[in-house]
A and B are shown apart, each in its own frame.
Chain A
């Protein structure tokens, strides 16, 4: 029984061990019958039951929403009198039929003339209004429940078929009272004119054609998004996905602690983050499996019941949309699994975890249910609200009406929220106060570290980014709202937004995290060489960025077509003219200086500073450049793909400069210089034109410009490299906190 030395593990071994740890968590979870019930049995039961309830709702469940007054629109007083006469006739025949010739024009999938439909409206409840011009619009906007258009009367008198009356019945297929009223009117018309036909045949001995024809014309709301029923489906899918993730999340954290296995796990030489990641992957896997089973169950049910077109419109449920919604569910599962682990890590027992999750579910479901409101669009506000953004985006995907920008924002923010939640969970999972102490509380999550740190933690930086992104989206939306104000006010507001979001907020967060602000934001002295070098790179950056934008457009990586860009020309000219109408200093400060300083402070100071020494340089620079590029993708509420590549490239250069010099100041010089050149080109363009430098109408940068820009950038890079700092600046924990001015 000789003691053997513990094995030394390489990084690869650790990764494999992590995978095996995940497999063990999955094995433990999937053997539990409760997981199987949630995973398989629930979807098998829920969707057929829901479809039955849904059909019942469509057929008979309108009672509660049945209006007291049924409003019918017609186009003339003559039509109204005819209709009143028909309705008052109250003649009943036993074998109504629909005009087979016109049946093809009916939205057959809706089948409003289903004989199993409920009792008809009482005649005294019916009100008839005259809408000579805009009857279809009145139906569409719910001013009337249905409309009756006399096609016979629309035609010139000479062309009207003798003895025949033709009607169009306008109704909304997505509105139960409208469908019901249309059915009622169709039946009444049918009865009246069949009786009329019978009378004629008897009187004249004719074997004439049918006296009346009608066709159903569904009116869809073109100006609004999908109905609330279409929102309900992704909402149910999301709820079921949550349900699938809840049990494993509790079991693998609070449950493990309650059973006493967590301590044994924490006693093993595996990093806490590794244990948490294994649990996260296990919970996520179960959530994804749940989503997969649910989406399969829902799709099968919709196909089997034929409810797809009723809910999602005539096209029904497209296979591509199902795949896209599944991808969204995976993303949402990634987010919610992290939130669940974060919350359940606090709990000391299964029961306590359940008590924590109830308020969480209530809070989570509120925006989800709000998103069920009809006509709610995925906009700047809703795209950053967790859960609601996924519900609305999934609804739009199913309806084939996705707004690219807000959809991208919803996806990006959800991914970011997931990362932030996981970072918070890592902070508390298995900590000694949670593992053993009775003193562990929610306050631990926000407890300030006792010692001053030289850099922000990755989890802290992620949390800050998760705060900045939605605020950026919301405030950008507010900026658009004040577009009617003067240009000075707009520029001041824009600068203030940058100052708050990219400077004051990160500084406050870092201060709260007990980060030494000078070191944490890399606000340190830089060599004169690096400053001069950055200035030169900044001079070359603007033409190179422009060349990249043009290159992107040339290769089709572009949102705007050449025609669209040409159309925007006058707008840009008006903008530049407005800039020229105010003092140039204001324009330079707002467009060049403020972004240059504030963005560098956040992206290269705070974010890059948090990654330094913890991840390889290429990953740190690359990831901050991607985030930087995505922040610059939006132009006037639209994603401009052509800008992404150029912004990311600039982000890489700025990241390299900050990494090399260990200071954020050279990057500020570079950024401000580059921005200033763009502003100068805009304000003093005619001066360049006078020199024969005119880019208008050109699809590429003149080679001489490019060569000059590349030369400047290379010389600048050489100077930055010569002025690099190889060792970190000395930071004393007791150093006074520096607040940049």
Chain B
């Protein structure tokens, strides 16, 4: 469902070339949750943006359901729900207005949009503030609305970039519960997170990124065999300490 092939991105910042992502490849199938893990600046967010078509790759490509993000960006975008760490809300709109607006952008018919809205409001407990101005919501409430916003068109692919940032334990649980449901529903999910313990419990496969390169890739058992370590946290810390860079 998602294919990433030799994807690279080179930026120029302050006159210097920065290789944000360097030739990474992986696939994610239906009903699979792929954890994209790595330190800040490892290239997780850039990779997700390239898959979505928001950032043009320097080389390589990404495909979603057979559509290449550089060639058919609208077809790719219509199949993806993005939850971003930096996403905000329209301060002068209510969550209901915003969710229906985004449903419309994705071409969802009004009656389907209403049904999806009711379902998501149930899942994320939005009913209490569905008609309040977004500026008055708390951080956690905003994050839930954002999650609902990315799912309002019921996409087959989910890209979640730090979906639990700013959420309390209960809020995080709601998110991870939803990801589990999405897997059951046959969606392909890529999660980028710092919550390695949760990721370990939730993801089917992992990709460990370090300085733009894919250090390790596979199931937890694969990674344990490759590194000789038992947990993702240990692997992550070992990788950072050693500055280890290995091709997957």
Contact = CB atoms under 8 A, between A and B. Distances in A.
A263 B87 contact: yes
13 contacts: A1-B154, A20-B104, A24-B93, A27-B93, A260-B87, A261-B88, A264-B84, A264-B102, A265-B105, A267-B84, A269-B75, A270-B74, A436-B55
Contact of A3 (B11, B54, B93, B187): B187
B105 A17 contact: yes
A32 B92 contact: yes
A296 B107 CA distance: 41
Contacts of B12: 439
Interface string B174-210: 0000000110111100000000000000000000000
Interface in B62-100: 73-75, 77-80, 82, 84, 86-93, 97
Contacts, number: 109
B156 interface: yes
Chain B residues touching A, range:
35 or more
Given A27-B93, A260-B86, A263-B86, A439 B108 contact: no
B114 interface: no
A437 B149 CA distance: 25
Contacts of A21: 105
Nearest to B53: A267
A2 B185 CA distance: 6
A436 to B, nearest CB: 7
A28 interface: yes
A31 interface: yes
B109 A7 contact: yes
A269 B154 contact: no
Given A270-B74, A432-B49, 7 more contacts: A6-B79, A28-B90, A260-B86, A266-B54, A269-B75, A269-B77, A436-B49
Interface string B142-173: 00001001100111100000000000000000
Contacts of B97: 24, 27
Contacts of A571: none
A3 B156 contact: yes
Interface string A12-33: 0100010011001001100110
B52 interface: yes
A210 interface: no
Interface of A: 1-4, 6-9, 13, 17, 20-21, 24, 27-28, 31-32, 259-261, 263-271, 432, 435-439
B108 A7 contact: yes
Secondary structure of the A contact surface, majority rule: loop
B90 A269 contact: no
Contacts of A266: 54
Contacts of B107: 6-9, 13, 17, 269
Contacts of A3: 154-156, 185-187
Nearest to A6: B78
B88 A1 contact: no
B105 A432 contact: no
B87 A261 contact: yes
B185 A268 contact: no
A263 to B, nearest CB: 6
Nearest to A7: B107
B207 to A, nearest CB: 21
A191 B38 CA distance: 97
B89 to A, nearest CB: 7
B186 A2 contact: yes
B56 interface: yes
B79 A1 contact: no
A438 B46 CA distance: 13
A260 B161 CA distance: 13
Contacts of A24: 93, 97, 101
Contact of A437 (B13, B52, B101): B13
Nearest to B184: A1
Which 10 interchain pairs have the tightest Cβ spacing?
A260-B88, A7-B107, A3-B156, A1-B185, A6-B78, A259-B88, A269-B74, A31-B92, A268-B105, A269-B78
B80 A267 contact: yes
B236 interface: no
Nearest to A268: B105
A267 B88 contact: no
